[in-house]
Chains A and B, each alone.
Chain A
Amino acid sequence: MATMKNEIDFLLHLADNALIIGHRNSEWCGHGPILEQDIAITNIALDYIGQARNFYQHAAVLINQEPTSFGATQTGNDLVLPATEDSLAYLRDVREFKNLLITEIPNGDWAQTTLRLFLLSVFQLQLYTQLLQHSDAQVAAIAEKSIKEMNYHVKWSQDWVLRLGDGTEESKQRMQIAIESIWAYTGELFIQPEFATAACINYADIQTAWNKKVSAVFEEAGLSILSKTFVQKGGAEGMHTEHLGYILAEMQYLQRAYPNSEW
């Protein structure tokens, strides 16, 4: 039973990460620095929303099989059964969201947006690669589909880190400021959540690969990594920054105000 609850929580963690970073990227829609890049980041946002749907759908199936094992993660009147991808996305409250803090911090400028996406997607690519070995075939299948998208997210965001880091004086400065403002949220990536108990997951390996990739790109871009910094953490346990509430308010408003409305 505990295993099932862990798997459900882990799926929600993956789904929440994808949903919230997808929402953040979607905020650029119509505001991108140039039409082509506006389309690019919106495509990436849609990739993430698609991944979130896949994880939520699978989580919903598992929850509905064993509703009791899920009840414990709900704080009260928010438990909606049968669970659906929509109920999981739109009817859970801040404290039940398990996304990493790095996904919810504001976009900032283009440098911060692309750097955050780079740091996060390198992590997600590693994690999804491990999930290919997951004992649940559905999880492995979702990971396999998502890896193709994630490869592109890494490539796209990495290009921007290089371009801005190795660009003009101003772009380099903006990228360095972005590093300083985001770095405190990178430590949380490698703290294994209690519910991440699947045998195929090894956070130490993810961290090694992440460090290698990020330092290689930073070196090429002429950027410096912050060696030591305070680690902001707690997202996986539902302890979020003040920013997530605003995201959920905007995202969930319609379903909360007009329950079961459709269009």
Chain B
Amino acid sequence: MSFHINKLYYGDYGESKNGAADISTNQNNAAEWPLWEVFIRSKQGLDHKHAGSLHAADAAMAIENARDVYTRRMEGVSIWVVESKYIHASNPDEAGALYDPANDKAYRHPTFYDLPEEVKYM
């Protein structure tokens, strides 16, 4: 007896392996708009930060939707969007190998410098 297990990753909507809604090949999702990740720059000079995700038919609509969903309260001056299926993520199973070796290497932290008061956003 064999089971087919659908393993869903962040950004996948009911698809077995194609990543986010691939409307060209999946009939079930023909009516579903793809998922987009939204990055907002809150003010000039800062970097874009992940704000969340939303559905949209294309990039232009994704930016407009992001404007309405994520910048209603003056959160941003610039918006990036990228279709979620193009995001590649690290595998949680490998977390030990990837991150644990840094645990005992305090010397990697730049904590041995005195920062001037004027320097912000460090």
Contacts and interface: CB of A to CB of B under 8 A. Distances in A.
B87 to A, nearest CB: 19
Best-buried of B65, B68, B72 by chain A (most CB within 10 Å): B68
B59 interface: no
Nearest to B32: A34
A241 B53 CA distance: 42
A40 B68 contact: yes
A35 interface: yes
Nearest to A38: B68
| Size band of the interface chain A makes with B | 10 to 19
B89 to A, nearest CB: 23
B57 interface: yes
A39 interface: yes
A34 B54 CA distance: 10
Interface in B24-69: 33, 54-57, 60-61, 64-65, 68-69
Contacts of B68: 36, 39-40, 43
Interface in A144-187: 155-156, 159, 163
Interface in A18-71: 34-37, 39-40, 43
A64 to B, nearest CB: 33
Given A156-B64, A159-B64, A36 B69 contact: yes
A209 B31 CA distance: 37
A39 B69 contact: yes
Given A35-B54, A36-B69, 20 more contacts: A34-B33, A35-B55, A36-B54, A36-B55, A36-B56, A36-B65, A36-B68, A37-B65, A39-B65, A39-B68, A39-B69, A39-B72, A40-B64, A40-B65, A40-B68, A43-B68, A43-B72, A155-B64, A159-B64, A163-B57
Interface of A: 34-37, 39-40, 43, 155-156, 159, 163
Interface of B: 33, 54-57, 60-61, 64-65, 68-69, 72
